[in-house]
Structure formats: C-alpha cells, structure tokens
Amino acid sequence: MAQQSLPKDKIKFLLLEGVHPSAVETLERDGYTNIEFHKKALPPEELKKAIAGAHFVGIRSRTQLTEEIFEAAKKLVAVGCFCIGTNQVDLNAATRRGVAVFNAPFSNTRSVAELVIAEAILLLRGVAEKNAAAHRGEWMKTAVNSYEIRGKKLGIVGYGNIGMQLGVIAESMGMQVQFYDVVNKLPLGNARQVPSLNNLLGNSDVVSLHVPETGATQDMIGAAELAQMQQGAILINASRGTVVDIDALSEALAEGRLGGAGIDVFPVEPRSNDDEFISPLRQFDNTFLTPHIGGSTVEAQENIGMEVAEKLAKYSDNGTTTSSVNFPEVALPEHAGSHRLLHIHRNVPGIMSAINNVFSETGVNVSAQYLQTTEEVGYVVIDVDAEYSDVALERLAAIDGTIRSRVLF
Ligand SMILES: NC(=O)c1ccc[n+]([C@@H]2O[C@H](COP(=O)([O-])OP(=O)(O)OC[C@H]3O[C@@H](n4cnc5c(N)ncnc54)[C@H](O)[C@@H]3O)[C@@H](O)[C@H]2O)c1
Ligand SMILES: O=C(O)[C@H](O)COP(=O)(O)O
C-alpha cells in the first residue's frame, strides 16, 4: 500500500478514553486539527466505524485493539497508548500491517509508586477496616495489628520502572527492600534481588506486584503462592488484573491469613464509571479496592498526553519511531528540501537489494538513507530529490514483501 503525504488537516486523529487535553493541545500546536475526541472507550462495533477513517488512534488501557479492529482500520498508521501497558493491543496484528505502536513508559510510574506506598502504610496500620467501621458508626481504637512500615520488609515482584521507584521511596521511609524479577537487575540503594518468587513471598511483610500482563504472569499469585505468604502480610496489586487469582485471594482474606490487600486492577473491570463494579473482594473491610487509578493523577495524565502526542506527531511529520514498542527504532533529522520515502517491509532476504535497485535503475538521487530492523520488520527511510519521489514510491510499493510505504513532503 503506497500513501501520498496528506495535508495536516486531512490527517485524522481518533482520541479515546478521555486522554488529557494536553494531547489535543500538542497535536494542534503541531498543525493537526482533524481530531475526534471521545471521553470514553467505544464498544467494538462503534470503534470499528470510528477507526475506519483514522490515521492515528490514541487509547488508554481499556480499549482492546484486536485483529478484527485492525482489519477495520485500513488507513491506520500508528497507535498511541496513553499509558504504560500495551497488552490491550494485538501487537502482532499491528506489526503485520505496518502500524507503529507507541506508549508512555515512564510518565505515570511515580503516581503508581506513591499509591502503593500510601496503601502499604494504611494497610499495615489497619486503617482500611477502621475507616470502614467508623463509617458504620463503630469506634475501633486499638493498637492491635497496627504497625509502622519502618523496618518492615517490602517484596517487589517485577523490578522495572515502577518497582525500582517504589523500592527507592520505600527505603527512604525505612523499609527493607527485596525484589524478584526474571531478569538480573542492578539493585538501587540497599535493595536485594532474591532468587525465587517463593523466597520473596515467604519473607515479606508487604508484597507488591509490578509485572506486565503476559502468559507467564497470568494467575502468578494463586492459592499456592498466597499460602507461601507470611501470616498477616499485605498484598498489593497495581499491575494487571490477570496477575492475581481473585477467588484464591478472597479465600485467603476470608480465612484471615492476610492482613489486608490493596487491589487497583481486576480480571474484569467495569467498561465505564456508569457500570457496577462486581468483585468478591467487596465484602472485606481490610482491602483498598481502587478503580484502576494507579496512573490517574493530573501530573501523570498531563505528561502522558504530551509525550504520546509528540511521538505520534513526530512519526507523522518525519518518520521517527524512537521508543516504539513494536517497530524498528529510527531517530531521524528534518528533511527540508527533499522528500522522504518510508518503506516498511517484512524482514526477508533480498528486500534491501530490491530497494537499492529502484534507485540505481531509475537514477533517482538518494541524499540520505536510514535502515533499522527487528526480527519481523524492516524500516527503511530514504530522502530523495522532490521531483522524483512519485516514481520511486510507486516502484518501492511494488517490491515483494512490502507492508506499507508512504512519502512525506
Ligand atoms: N495500575 C495502573 O494504573 C498502572 C499504571 C502503570 C503501569 N501499570 C502496570 O504495571 C506494569 C509494570 O510497569 P513498569 O513500568 O514497571 O514495567 P517495566 O516493563 O518497566 O517492568 C516490568 C518488570 O517485570 C519483570 N517481569 C516480567 N515478567 C516477569 C515475571 N514473569 N516474573 C517476574 N518479573 C517479571 C520485567 O523483567 C521488568 O523488570 C505495566 O506492565 C502495567 O501493566 C499499571
Ligand atoms: O498501563 C498503564 O499505564 C495503566 O494501567 C494506566 O492505564 P489507564 O491510562 O487506562 O489508567
């Protein structure tokens, strides 16, 4: 599929799930005015219709971009996840169609870490149940089962951007930090990596989960793992709802084996704020149940809006794919005075020589060329004299293995 460069007002952005206004402001400042904005996620059938005319789509964690949705999104050039997680996007389906996917890997990490620390303090003090009791008119003044976090052991599962930040804050408040990760990580401060999940679970006063949603993390904390935890320990999950078996957690809470839990993400979450939240955990006073708001602070949302909108605009303006989660990464300079050809292809032998043949056979002068590949996809960017870009684009688009090509003026 070969695409000519469109005037900016013809390039359509579909922004869903109430991304922060900073996204719209950033795009408008860059000259993109064709923006359809929705406060909520769209149901699949509506999404299919809305996405059919969109060149760029912006989502958060709720919108599922499945194979079927990509099939309906014939004009789609890139996806912006205005969040960290990208598990809601079928990345293979995107890559096969030459659709680049971007996210905001850092902007809300502090917000999540702060929520977890707050919950660790309040749950170790028994505040969740004392607060619930007070709302019912009960007075629970007691020091029994009420502890400081100072000197307690925090076990972090998944020592990535959030886990590391959490560890630093926890340590500054006097906690001893240990973590489990599938990758060997450099511990910050006095944190200590432990060799196994069981080792961490059996030896932590508070366990906090910060792994991505993958096959390996599905039900990572089930009945067997909960049984490993210390009597009275706290479990916090602000990662993904699929990581904890909620029925097993309910059982552990019902039997009084855990001191409490802070759960921000659930296997099934209401589609909107108008729908009822249904969970067996509602019965327990010693839990904080929050509506997936780990990253929902004004600061984080504003930064995410700018960061992801900038990435989309940059990709649209000059082809830069820096920090794409599914695409070869290329950081490109401006291309004033020349036209820029973007060629996305399956990474199979012979493609590069076919591309270079186009230029040797047509005599089109190449002023710069950039190439980057992943296992599946190759991304070549070629700057050429403006008057020859049409003919070169046509020839490039006809090369066997081409996924998508476009020209930027
Ligand atoms: N509640 C919220 O609002 C909210 C906000 C932001 C992020 N999140 C979730 O938190 C997750 C973590 O975010 P991050 O920015 O720290 O991600 P990250 O990619 O920086 O870190 C994830 C860490 O988990 C480790 N890991 C992966 N699989 C593992 C496994 N099976 N066992 C142990 N460790 C494993 C990785 O090696 C990595 O160190 C995100 O994937 C996202 O789903 C939730
Ligand atoms: O992946 C994330 O960053 C979090 O889950 C936050 O998602 P949200 O933007 O939908 O709140």
Look at residue 154 in the predicted model and tell me its pLDDT.
98
Ligand 2 atom closest to 240 (CA): 5
* Ranges of the chain with pLDDT below 70: 1-4, 388
296 in contact with ligand 2, CB cutoff 6 A:
yes
Q: Side by side, which strands form the sheet with 100-102?
A: 35-37, 13-15, 56-59, 78-81, 100-102
Please work out, in degrees rounded to the nearest 5, the angle formed at the alpha carbon of residue 61 by the alpha carbons of 58 and 65: 65
Q: Which residues of 9-42 are buried (b: 16+ CB within 10 A; e: fewer)?
A: eebbbbbbbebbebbbebbeebebebbeebeebb
- 310 in active site: no
d(CA 123, CA 241): 20
- 269 in active site: yes
Condensed to tens digits (0 to 9), the pLDDT of residues 185-236 reads 999 999 999 999 999 999 999 999 999 999 999 999 999 999 999 999 999 9
Residue of the CA atom closest to atom 38 of ligand 1: 160
Per DSSP, the residues of 22-67 read HHHHHHHHTT---EEE-SSPPPHHHHHHHHHT-SEEEE-SS--B-H
177 in contact with ligand 1, CB cutoff 6 A:
no
Instruction: Give this complex's ipTM.
Output: 0.99
Look at residue 1 in the predicted model and tell me its pLDDT.
53
User: Ligand 1: distance of its center to the CA of 109 in Å?
Assistant: 10
292 in contact with ligand 1, CB cutoff 6 A:
yes
Look at residue 269 in the predicted model and tell me its pLDDT.
95
Percent of the chain with pLDDT over 90: 89
Look at residue 3 in the predicted model and tell me its pLDDT.
60
Look at residue 360 in the predicted model and tell me its pLDDT.
86
Alpha helix (H) ranges present in 153-243? 161-172, 197-201, 223-228
Out of 161, 181, 197, give the residue to mutate to test ligand 1, the one with the largest number of ligand atoms within 8 Å of its CB.
181
- 38 in active site: no
Look at residue 387 in the predicted model and tell me its pLDDT.
73
Look at residue 4 in the predicted model and tell me its pLDDT.
56
